Structure 1
Amino acid sequence: MSLRAYLTSRVFVAQILAAMAIVAVIAYLFFHWITFTTHHGQEISVPDLSKLSAEQAEEKLAALDLDYIILDTVDFRPDAPKLTVVEQEPKAGSKVKEGRKIYLKINASTYTMVSVPDLIEKTYRQAIPTLEAVGLKEGTISYRPYLGKDMVLEMRMNGKKLKSGDKVLKSSKIDLVLGDGKVVFDETTIDSTAVDSTQMPSLDAE
């Protein structure tokens, strides 16, 4: 049979059609396999991990085929249990792919220690922002006689006098003793300087 006759024969056409069908089946199976292995179109909703310990968060994420990384420990937050998740990225409810890493920040076990700033001879208006800047709070305000009104004379905590540089827990309340702006004079009569007019010599001429 000549080549021309073979190319126009039913046998050749049947072989071509069979080969195309095989290629189509292989292509379909290949793309279906790719879609399955890459989870194309499948997304996982990130769970809410707030107030969970690292171990609890790991178990919850592992069940969803998600991973995690602890970024840092943040300053103690009293509204959350110690050593639990307080921040996560991506946020709860976000859609991610399998194997995605969730970044966590953990609450510290207690407040950190901070140094008491030097507030002596500063005004009340200056003292409060300075306290807040280092994470301390205003406590009880009391007054005592002093020329400078609202001038800080002492810093105290739990009845103990503080000085600048002392270490206290962050968020502690610092009591301030302020001047009342009144000058107090000593009214005690000093006899040695008192002058008795009856003892003064007479100026009348003899």
Structure 2
Amino acid sequence: MSFTKYLTSRVFFAQLLAAIAILAVVTYLFFHWITFVTNHGDETTVPNLAKLTPEQVEDKLDALNLTYEIIDTVDYRPNFPKLTIVQQEPTAGSKVKGGRTIYLKINAATYKMVAIPDLIEKTYRQAVPTLKAIGLQEGTITYVPYLGKDMVLKMMMNGKEVKQGMKVLKSTKIDLVLGDGKVVFDETETDSIVQEAEKKILDTIPNE
């Protein structure tokens, strides 16, 4: 029988149909096996772990057959309890398979220490961004007669003068004594005015 006649014979079509049927069965069995091995459809919803302690996280994830790993401690955030979860990956609501590890970032116990920058003889517009850049806050602003308008003459904290390089907790408020742009030639008088400004700052601090 020639090849051309074979391609149009019943034997060829029977063998072709048999091959297609075998391929379909093998494909079905393969995908059925893959689904079984990978637990397709057997997924767990990741819970919201924000503001939970590691102990609470462990209890919650154990019940869902999930594990966790703390990968970092972030700067203290006052809107989260200390040493609780701040971020998680995968995020809450994600679908994962059993045994998946949830990666966590935890809140620090307190603010870290930062060094006070040198703001003396810098303008107010320069001083405030410098404070904020390292995590400090602008406190009370007091003006005294001085040639340089809005120039920082002293830095204060809780009624006491602070100097460049002193370590304070991040988010601390730094009070600034600024010049008002008026000329003062008498250094003794200038010192007296600055001292008066310090007294005003002290008066704003509540008694403990």
Q: What TM-score comes out, normalization by structure 2 length?
A: 0.72
2:73 counterpart residue number: 73
2:158 is equivalent to residue 158 of structure 1: yes
Instruction: String of CA shifts for 1:136-171, please: whole Å, max 9, x gaps.
Output: 010000011111000000000100100000000000
Q: Which amino acid aligns with 1:119?
A: L
1:174 counterpart residue number: 174
2:114 is equivalent to residue 87 of structure 1: no
What secondary structure sits across from 1:57 in the alignment? helix
Superposed displacement of residue 43, structure 1: 1.0
Q: Which amino acid aligns with 1:163?
A: K
Over the matched positions of the two proteins, sequence identity in percent amounts to 73
2-structure distance, mates of 1:65, 1:47: 12
What secondary structure sits across from 1:117 in the alignment? coil
Instruction: String of CA shifts for 1:63-100, please: whole Å, max 9, x gaps.
Output: 11111110111000000100000100010000111111
1:103 counterpart residue number: 103
Instruction: Give the unaligned 5+ runs of structure 1.
Output: 1-23, 187-206
Q: What TM-score comes out, normalization by structure 1 length?
A: 0.73
2-structure distance, mates of 1:148, 1:34: 77
Evaluate the alpha carbon distance shift between residue 168 and residue 177 of structure 1 in structure 2; reply closer, same or farther with a 3 A threshold: same
2:123 is equivalent to residue 116 of structure 1: no
Instruction: Give the unaligned 5+ runs of structure 2.
Output: 1-24, 187-208
Evaluate the alpha carbon distance shift between residue 80 and residue 177 of structure 1 in structure 2; reply closer, same or farther with a 3 A threshold: same
1:19 counterpart residue number: none
Q: Which amino acid aligns with 1:184?
A: V
CA RMSD, 1 decimal = 2.0
- Higher Cα radius of gyration: 1
Q: Which amino acid aligns with 2:67?
A: D
